[in-house]
Amino acid sequence: MAFFRIHNPLPTFAARKISYPRLPARLPSISSQVSHRKMSTFKQEAHKDLLYSKDAQIFLISGSGTLGWDQVASNLIEPGEDVLVLNSGYFGDSFRDCLEAYGAKVDSIVAEFGAAVSKSEIEKALKAKKYKAVTFTHVDTSTGVLSDAKMIGETVKAISPETLVVLDGVCSVASEEIQMDAWGIDVVLTASQKGLGAPPGLSIVAASQAALAVAQSRKTPVTSYYASWKKWLPIMNAYETGKPMYFATPPVNLIRAYYTSLKQITQVAPSLEERFKLHKEASRRVKDAVAELGLKEVPKDPYYAANGMSAVYLPDGVGVGDLVPRLLQRDVVITGGLHKDYKEKYFRIGHMGTTVVNAERGDLDKLVTALKESIREAVASKQSSLLDRGQEPYRRPETTPKRPSARL
Does one domain contain both 215 and 130?
Answer: yes
Report the pLDDT averaged over residues 140-144.
Answer: 96
User: Of all residues in the chain, what percent are helix, strand and coil, respectively (each to 5)?
Assistant: 40, 15, 40
User: Phi/psi zone of residue 331: left (φ > 0), alpha (ψ -120 to 50 degrees), beta?
Assistant: left
The CATH code of the domain that includes 351 is 3.90.1150.10
Say if CB 163 and CB 156 are below 8 A apart. Answer: yes
Q: What is the mean pLDDT of the chain?
A: 87
Residues 143-201 have pLDDT tens digits of: 999 999 999 999 999 999 999 999 999 999 999 999 999 999 999 999 999 999 999 99
Largest CA distance in the chain: 77
Does one domain contain both 306 and 212?
Answer: no
Looking at residue 394, its pLDDT comes to 52
Does one domain contain both 158 and 223?
Answer: yes
- Residue 408 in domain: no
Say if CB 335 and CB 4 are below 8 A apart. Answer: yes
Residue 292 has pLDDT above 80, yes or no: yes
- Residue 373 in domain: yes
CA distances from 68 to 63, 71, 86, 175 (A): 9, 5, 17, 19
Looking at residue 41, its pLDDT comes to 57
Exposure of 273 in the CB half-sphere (CA atoms within 13 A): 0
Does one domain contain both 161 and 263?
Answer: yes
Write down which residue in 234, 250, 267 finishes a domain: 267
In terms of residues, how long is the chain?
408
Write down which residue in 239, 267, 295 finishes a domain: 267
Does one domain contain both 261 and 284?
Answer: no
| Number of independent structural domains in the chain | 2
Does one domain contain both 251 and 287?
Answer: no
How far apart (Å, rounded) are the C-alpha atoms in residues 345 and 338? 10
Looking at residue 397, its pLDDT comes to 44
Q: Provide the domain limits for residue 330.
A: 272-387
- Residue 348 in domain: yes
Does one domain contain both 256 and 156?
Answer: yes
Looking at residue 368, its pLDDT comes to 95
How far apart (Å, rounded) are the C-alpha atoms in residues 71 and 389? 56
Looking at residue 144, its pLDDT comes to 97
- Residue 241 in domain: yes
Report the pLDDT averaged over residues 96-116.
Answer: 98
User: Angle between the 363-388 and 320-329 helix axes, to the nearest 10 degrees?
Assistant: 130
Residues 50-76 have pLDDT tens digits of: 999 999 999 999 999 999 999 999 999
Residue 26 has pLDDT above 80, yes or no: no
Q: Any residues with CB less than 8 A from the CB of 36 and at least 6 apart, and which? A: 29, 30, 242
Q: Any residues with CB less than 8 A from the CB of 102 and at least 6 apart, and which? A: 70, 73, 74, 77, 79, 223, 224
Looking at residue 51, its pLDDT comes to 97
Does one domain contain both 118 and 210?
Answer: yes
- Residue 395 in domain: no
Does one domain contain both 45 and 158?
Answer: yes
Looking at residue 392, its pLDDT comes to 55
How far apart (Å, rounded) are the C-alpha atoms in residues 165 and 159? 12
348 labeled binding residue: yes
Q: Any residues with CB less than 8 A from the CB of 359 and at least 6 apart, and which? A: none
How far apart (Å, rounded) are the C-alpha atoms in residues 330 and 310? 19
Does one domain contain both 259 and 278?
Answer: no
Residue 131 has pLDDT above 60, yes or no: yes
Report the pLDDT averaged over residues 315-323.
Answer: 93
Q: Which residue has the higher pLDDT, 275 or 36?
A: 275
Looking at residue 19, its pLDDT comes to 47
Residue 21 has pLDDT above 70, yes or no: no
Does one domain contain both 65 and 199?
Answer: yes
Percent of the chain whose pLDDT exceeds 70 = 84
Does one domain contain both 134 and 244?
Answer: yes
How far apart (Å, rounded) are the C-alpha atoms in residues 346 and 54? 40
Write the DSSP string, 333-347: --EE--STTTTTSEE
- Residue 403 in domain: no
The CATH code of the domain that includes 254 is 3.40.640.10
Model confidence, pTM: 0.88
Write down which residue in 218, 247, 267 finishes a domain: 267
